[in-house]
Amino acid sequence: SAYKDLNRVSSSSRNSNFRKKRQRNNRVCCSKVNVSFKRLCENLDKMAQFGFENDIHSILKLDMPITNAPMARWQRKASSSNASALNGLSPGKSANVSLSTTKTPSKTPGKTKKQTPSKMGGDRFIPTRNSKQMDVASFLLTKENETVDTNEQNATSENQKAMSMSLNGYNIEEAKILHLGGKPLNAPEGYQNNLKVLYSQGATPASVKKTRYISSTPDRILDAPELHLNLLDWSSCNVLAVALHNCVYLLDASQGEITLLMKLEHEEDYICSLSWTKEGSYLAIGTSDCQTQLWDVYTQKHLRSMASHTSRVVSLSWNDHVLSSGSRSGHIHHHDVRVANHHIATLTGHSQEVCGLQWSPDGRYLASGGNDNMVYVWPRVQDGPANQAVRCWSEHQGAVKALAWCPWQPNILASGGGTSDRHIRIWNVNSGSCISSLDTQSQISSLVFAPNYKELVSAHGYAHNNVVIWKYPSLTRVAELNGHEDRVLSLILSPDFSTIATVAGDETIRIWKSFELDPIKKKAKERLAKSTSGAIHQSIR
């Protein structure tokens, strides 16, 4: 399939990069852009991002007070000096602008200057003359006074042309620049551009030590409004999908480009869950209006909307062509996305919202966690009646949103409890027993197994608002990632396992490069992975 070809190409490019790197030094390096990813970028580049700033603006408007707003009109009138704008006037006219409009009448009465809001209390107008324009002016003036010698004319005209080009960017002998004069057009008083920086990069030191360095400060910080539930997913093509209220954005993790994929029609609706297919070409989106939408991200097309739930769709998980969705109603639906009658099974067990849903890597079991503190394990569709749970565990004392299957040990499930529970529990699905349990002292919102160093990562809300890395299976604390100022709501691992992304109630998404392998080990792992299986999976032994 095309997916296999892409991966073959991308893994070979990765290998050649590492060969070069090893010759240079042993530094831990960042993951490289691979070929399949470039193609996605090209495709994403063709897509527009309508309403992007508008939505950010409207969202942020609710949350952020304007800290440096201009003075109110009456306040400005009370203070004696006023500023006026110089906008739109050519250099020749700059002399006409007066410092105080109340005293001096303007020389050209027809051109009234609009009073503009003073920014940050500074309302004295200081004209700035563009130095280049002064050069043009003086050049033109001296040119008029020069007596042109016919013998020298040819030589000097070349010089003049060159000078003109370098001064102005165009040849003033051949063109002139005009603009429509009149009242300068400014935005209404008091309008401040509310666009916030969506993406800024901070540097973290690269590790040179033998023991791996886990930076406790995030690698990148993205600003985003308050999110809830399962609104973050990282595709195998290295694209991060993140939902903000009623919009879904795609963040190209290597390039840092952000694209708006879709926006829900009604303002009052919001996105509740996101899930990429294994290949990373389709994105499933669960919404507050009980729908599950399917999108093709390459063509940015909405493929289908599946309506079967009676309540919002808060969790999603893929198993090949089967998409499972969990709803506030407590029901889980299986959808075969290839057929028109997609709804092929209903699992009833939970009595409250199904906030955690995860298929095991081998596709044999579906784990679900609910607001009712229960954990269920369901069989896959072909293994008998889908709606009969294989396991049912009630040990947790709080909502179970955090669920993770161990990628390197089959049939091992980790679950995390909410505020009243705070425990991580490790289960063996075969035996049905709880292998270990640990009190983390904090509400657990997300769990992820990190294969590179065989660790389990937990994201916490009250009271620590942090991310903790635990050694597996000993569950000894390895490191803590602090930085978020509010509950960490979701945690996701990058496709190359080197990085995690977290989203929190403090309205930020943070990216932590905590699991980078050093090049030699990575190459060895890749050689091993290549020889054992074709499909890229999390099964690294």
DSSP 265: S
Question: Does 73 contact another protein by CB under 8 A?
Answer: no
Window 116-155: contact mask with another protein (x via CB under 8 A): xx-x--x---xxx-xxxx--x-------------------
| Residue length of the chain | 541
CB of 481 closer than 8 Å to CB of 514? yes
CB of 19 closer than 8 Å to CB of 527? no
Question: Does 210 contact another protein by CB under 8 A?
Answer: no
CB of 228 to another protein, least distance (A): 25
What DSSP element (H or E) covers 62?
helix 52-63
- Token pair, residue 388, equals 């009969």
CB of 173 closer than 8 Å to CB of 161? yes
User: Residue 21: what are its φ and ψ, rounded to 5°?
Assistant: -65, -40
CB of 176 to another protein, least distance (A): 6
CB of 420 to another protein, least distance (A): 43
Question: Does 179 contact another protein by CB under 8 A?
Answer: yes
Question: Does 169 contact another protein by CB under 8 A?
Answer: yes
Distance (Å, whole) CA 474 – CA 187: 61
Distance (Å, whole) CA 9 – CA 531: 16
Question: Does 175 contact another protein by CB under 8 A?
Answer: yes
Distance (Å, whole) CA 255 – CA 257: 5
Applying the rule CB under 8 A, the residues between 510 and 529 that interact with another protein are none
Which of 52, 139, 213, 408 forms a contact with another protein (CB under 8 A)?
52
Whichever of 57 and 454 has its CB closer to another protein, that residue is: 57
Question: Does 49 contact another protein by CB under 8 A?
Answer: yes
Question: Does 45 contact another protein by CB under 8 A?
Answer: yes
CB of 483 to another protein, least distance (A): 19
Interhelix angle 153-168/131-145, nearest 10 degrees: 160
Applying the rule CB under 8 A, the residues between 86 and 115 that interact with another protein are 86-88, 90-93
CB of 132 to another protein, least distance (A): 6
Whichever of 168 and 419 has its CB closer to another protein, that residue is: 168
- Token pair, residue 109, equals 């009465």
Distance (Å, whole) CA 202 – CA 256: 13
CB of 141 to another protein, least distance (A): 14
Question: Does 57 contact another protein by CB under 8 A?
Answer: yes
Distance (Å, whole) CA 436 – CA 408: 17
Question: Does 168 contact another protein by CB under 8 A?
Answer: yes
Question: Does 180 contact another protein by CB under 8 A?
Answer: yes
Laid out side by side, the sheet with 322-327 consists of: 313-319, 322-327, 331-336, 343-348
Question: Does 197 contact another protein by CB under 8 A?
Answer: yes
Whichever of 109 and 122 has its CB closer to another protein, that residue is: 122
Applying the rule CB under 8 A, the residues between 225 and 264 that interact with another protein are 256-259
Pairing of strands 467-471, 455-460: antiparallel
Q: Which amino acid is residue 423, in one-letter code?
A: H
Whichever of 17 and 194 has its CB closer to another protein, that residue is: 194
CB of 242 closer than 8 Å to CB of 231? yes
The residue ranges that bind another protein (CB under 8 A) are: 45-54, 57-58, 83, 85-88, 90-93, 116-117, 119, 122, 126-128, 130-133, 136, 168-170, 172-188, 191-197, 199-201, 203, 256-259
